[in-house]
Chain A
């Protein structure tokens, strides 16, 4: 058998280049609104409806909204919220609307809506995901502002961008295994976790750049630490740590006793496990939990090209009313002020969204290096 390994190689490359050259740059983002989004028939019609609804208030708004939404009869949700099925159950119990739910990790949700927008395919009516992805969608011009009395009652940190509204918050807390950390010996501060007595007992999560960046701003900008001091402090914390991937795995390993403390668990992961009987906690019986508690909003935005704009608006209303109870049942922290607040009286610090959006590489690299250098200290 004759064999010419070079021929396949060369042809492969040539064919590949030719094929892709015909397709334009596939990885370009939807700069400037691909496919004339803003002038599309969908966007024009939706904008008219949104503006009409935003101009109403009180009972008049509610009546008009429900009638119009049920007439549309359908809603397409793109979300990374894993409690979405329960939310939809509550929503469809109340209204006669069929909900199609695309749920995925936040990166995929964003990629999907950007790609669809670029191709002029308008699949989503509302986008419900994390702050960073909502920020990108907002910057790309995909979202339409939502106005209502309900929005005004959302915590301030949750309505900084007019194009999306927070519905719940993730809180990063220091959790511990109550079998391994006896009462009275719980960690009291991040500084303490960097001390030698916690060597090998702490866990960090490999992707928590947002938490790291928030702590950076807290310690450097609010507490007057120098950059070098902060890096040195976090490196010592990392050298005390085992690194896990994924908050779920980390939570499971904490309750199993693989490590004694997690530096950046979600409060709902710990609360949910504790409610099921697992030996974990983030609040000591006496005294206060480790602070600051870094918080990051998750929220919802109306999509400009929605084919069901009334149903979309009604769903945002629902998440800020009945939906808040669903979140509370799932141990999540609601966004409406004055509701039951598990963080009341505690020092919270928001994730600096702008900073992460503008220069993600620097912060990714900084956290990656701190973790790797800390581990190398062993």
Chain B
């Protein structure tokens, strides 16, 4: 094998592919015996199917049918707008740009964090997730305060150097910038998991054989994490296509409308035109189904290609950056200043003021802790925090548990129809939040067990909503684990369940931890379905945030944002440390 490495044209695919041996040794082994394995697999598949089909069925029924039967009028209402071409153009430019930015940023940060000896790793990790914690509306408004041509602090600050108003956040570039940065933690977490499970000896071999760092990156590193990259692109493209917060706050200002503004317009009056909203969501569904199929196809091509966790032991040892260290150090500082420290400082600044005003001595002398005091005085704040914690941890645990098995079904098994499991798990991503809420309350109002009106209904909603992300995290990690480990365990007499628990689960831990952190963090700000489904006593934090927002207390909202960042940074650090104790270890 080493001899081949001298040839730079040899790709990792060729390096890892076994020269001979049975191509698909497991294909013939599949039977349907009544084993615990069958029950677990069937149970998980059924759970995923159920969670996905409730909202999908509701959406499709409402879109294609009315009381009289098949009705396609909703499509005309949804797409009959003369400016549809322009809307799609803006949406694609926005989503494509945001995906490019977040993937570049997220991948670079993940690589530096996992594979190199950057300083302050734990802090670096937590800080990379900050944009995810800050509610979108606060993050976006912070950017208005930083880069609006009229009131932007950065513009005022840089005017002597760059001329009048060098930045304008109210453009498609501004929208891409904010959305891209806000979604970069999704990519960061996925790529961290991928890099942690990658054997660095492959890169070292390439380097020792004379390849440059750039060649190694291009020919070895990136191809090996292709499943994670594909997953990132898919998730970010679709979430950006669906996103309305950033386009509404930044784009509308100057008349940049996107595809989702149609969903907003058709849903805002009574009766809500759920049919038209569904018709719009159907095109997202098509994009998603094709996306998942393409990802499966590409990631599945020679499934051994990406298996870097093999029987051969390795310790993911950090790479010394050498002469690049100062450059990287400065780059990281710059990134954090621009994307984390800047918006956070603006938020903290707003949280300390009775009302927003440009920084001045007068403003600073009016600093007060009243906004924070108001948060702590809220009647239901403690209860809401507790509920959000229970739901966040509950949903993250359940989803990652289910998805670990689902990933095995989808990536590793030879069960017929395994692709459907992956497709289904991705469906909730394209369902608008309000439709998800309506479909779930529709079902549980008629359910024999008393789930409606309890916290369980929220848990079900959260599990449905975050299943797609969980699946991306779990299946990406699963593609990296070599099947030979599983086979060895089986040959040594371990049952499937023991193998799964003792071999696969620990090896999946980078992906599971990343998915867990992601779900925990984003579930704290889930509003669109929570607001319909919660009941008195089951309030969650996002409801309180919404209330402050409706009430016009923007500065109290900023205080809540600051507190959320502190609390979740702490929890993320704990989760990350715990996750790092299981499975692959670093030096």
Partner-B contacts on A (CB < 8 A): 1, 3-5, 7-9, 11-13, 15-17, 19-21, 23, 25-29, 76, 82-83, 85, 89, 100-105, 107-108, 110-112, 115-116, 118-119, 121, 123, 132-133, 136, 206-207, 209, 242-249, 251-253, 255-259, 266, 268-269, 272-273, 276-279, 356-357, 360-361, 364, 368, 372, 375-376, 378
Contacts and interface: CB of A to CB of B under 8 A. Distances in A.
Contact of B269 (A118, A209, A278): A209
Given A23-B57, A28-B67, A277-B366, A8 B423 contact: yes
Give the most central of A132, A279, A361: most B CB within 10 Å.
A361
Contacts of B56: 12, 16
Contacts of A257: 150-151, 358
Contacts of A272: 552
A360 B554 CA distance: 30
Contacts of B84: none
Contacts of B66: 25
B61 A27 contact: yes
A269 B554 CA distance: 11
A258 B144 CA distance: 9
Interface string B533-552: 01111000001001101111
Contacts of B534: 102
A17 B357 CA distance: 55
Contact of B441 (A89, A112, A209): A112
Nearest to A246: B549
Contacts of A115: 438, 441-442, 445
Interface string B143-186: 01100101100000000000000000010000000000000000
A102 B533 CA distance: 10
Interface stretch (B248-256, B315-323, B578-586): B248-256
B334 interface: no
B73 interface: no
A127 B243 CA distance: 32
Interface in B419-457: 419-420, 422-424, 427, 434, 437-439, 441-443, 445-446, 452-453
A1 B300 contact: yes
Contacts of A258: 144, 148, 150-151
17 contacts: A3-B296, A4-B419, A8-B289, A9-B289, A21-B61, A82-B551, A100-B537, A107-B268, A242-B170, A242-B254, A251-B554, A252-B355, A255-B357, A256-B356, A258-B151, A273-B355, A276-B354
Interface residues of B, number: 86
Nearest to B558: A252
Question: Chain B interface mostly helix, strand, loop or mixed?
Answer: helix
B547 A82 contact: yes
Contacts of A248: 549-554
A104 B254 contact: no
Contacts of A259: 150
A76 B536 contact: yes
A105 B271 contact: no
B65 A8 contact: no
A164 B538 CA distance: 28
Contact of A243 (B252, B356, B442, B553): B252
Contacts of A364: 265, 268-269
Nearest to A103: B547
Contacts of B554: 248-249, 251-252
Given A15-B53, A25-B61, A243-B255, A252 B141 contact: yes
A173 to B, nearest CB: 14
Contacts of B549: 246, 248
B550 A256 contact: no
Contacts of A375: 254-255
Nearest to B140: A249
B270 interface: yes
Interface in B211-258: 248-249, 252-255, 257
B102 to A, nearest CB: 23
B283 interface: no
Contacts of A7: 417, 419-420
B293 interface: yes
B97 interface: no
B272 A111 contact: yes
Give the most central of A4, A13, A105: most B CB within 10 Å.
A105
Given A3-B300, A26-B58, A102-B536, A252 B270 contact: no
B198 interface: no
A136 B270 CA distance: 8
Contact of A108 (B248, B532, B552): B532
Contacts of B442: 23, 26, 115, 119
Contacts of A266: 552
B297 interface: yes
Given A119-B445, A248-B550, A252-B554, A372 B379 contact: no
A25 B67 contact: yes
Nearest to A253: B144
Contact of B272 (A76, A107, A116, A276): A107
A15 B148 CA distance: 49
B252 A206 contact: yes
A25 B24 CA distance: 46
The 5 nearest A-B residue pairs measured at CB: A375-B255, A20-B57, A119-B445, A100-B536, A278-B355
Given A27-B275, A111-B272, A278-B354, 14 more contacts: A8-B289, A20-B57, A20-B60, A112-B441, A121-B452, A123-B535, A248-B550, A252-B141, A252-B355, A256-B356, A256-B357, A277-B354, A277-B366, A279-B357
A119 B434 CA distance: 19
A182 B551 CA distance: 28
B268 A252 contact: no
Contacts of B535: 100, 102, 123
A16 B553 CA distance: 43
B269 A29 contact: no
B249 A249 contact: yes
B390 interface: no
Nearest to A27: B62
A28 B267 CA distance: 15
B137 interface: yes
A269 B531 CA distance: 23
A268 B170 CA distance: 28
B376 to A, nearest CB: 14
B355 to A, nearest CB: 4
Contacts of A20: 57-58, 60-61
Interface in B391-439: 417, 419-420, 422-424, 427, 434, 437-439
B420 A8 contact: yes
Nearest to B445: A119
B274 A27 contact: yes
Contacts of B274: 27
B506 interface: no
Contacts of A107: 267-268, 270, 272
A340 B453 CA distance: 40
Contact of B61 (A8, A15, A26, A104): A26
Given A5-B293, A25-B65, A12 B423 contact: yes
Contacts of B275: 27
A323 B252 CA distance: 38
Interface in B32-88: 49, 53-54, 56-58, 60-62, 65-67, 83
